[in-house]
Amino acid sequence: MQNEILRLINAIKPASEYEKIRKEAYRAISSYKAPRYLKLTDRLTILFEDAATVWFQIEETIHMEGTDDEQMIREIISTYQPMIPSHDEVSFTLFIHVYNDDEMRRLLPRYSGIERGIGLSINDNVIKPLPIYPSDYEPGAQARSIHYLKYKSNGLAALLMRTDDVTILVDHSEVKAKVKIPGEALASLRNSITIDSIKWIV
């Protein structure tokens, strides 16, 4: 699958070209993403991001905008590019599941600060997440149901290759959880396509 994905994400296509392969892209990326999801609780799920998952978000945004304009496409790439991990990084999106407006108003504020409470534990050493977009957490920012975060540590890639004892720790006033990353998800994480593997960054 990796070779197929690398071929697919080799370039960013304008809307008129992407439309021709959109169904193929959806099938391929959906299959690729499946083991990269990790359920933490009934309310929390994470998706481990890489160049392929971000490529799909970029292309879907270009499709939604219906644009072939090179400058607009560069701006879209620039917006999503920080989500692509480098060699010693793990990038992920945290989803807080709320199902109606009442939960949005009542429940979501109780998860304030959750972005600081999702640790990556490797052999009992815990790495804290960093915000990919720090402005999301400036004073006065609204409560969010989606958080873009990453772990960054020297030698992280080598650590992930050497051990199967990799766990996500949730430590927050609203929720506590400890979830070991299963084998298929860990294998997918080890094979993440990093930013140095692609040519279309801006």
How many angstroms separate the CA atoms of 170 and 111, rounded? 12
Contact 92, 46 (CB under 8 A): yes
- Beta-sheet pairing, 125-127 with 118-122: antiparallel
In the chain, domain spans: 2-195
How many angstroms separate the CA atoms of 118 and 74, rounded? 32
Cα angle 150, 155, 159; round to 5: 90
Q: Which pLDDT tens digits describe the chain residue by residue (202 residues)?
A: 788 999 999 999 999 999 999 999 999 999 999 999 999 999 999 999 999 999 999 999 999 999 999 999 999 999 999 999 999 999 999 999 999 999 999 999 999 999 999 999 999 899 999 999 999 999 989 899 999 999 999 999 999 999 999 999 999 999 999 999 999 999 999 999 999 999 999 9
Among the listed residues 98, 101, 22, the one whose alpha carbon sits nearest the alpha carbon of residue 61: 22
142-158: b (≥16 Cβ within 10 Å) or e: eebeebbbbbeeeebbe
How many angstroms separate the CA atoms of 192 and 84, rounded? 10
- Beta-sheet pairing, 175-180 with 166-172: antiparallel
Q: Kindly list the distances between the CA atom of residue 174 and the CA atoms of 33, 96, 101, 109, 168, in Å, as whole numbers in the listed order.
A: 28, 12, 19, 10, 16
pLDDT at 124: 86
Q: What is the pTM of this model?
A: 0.95
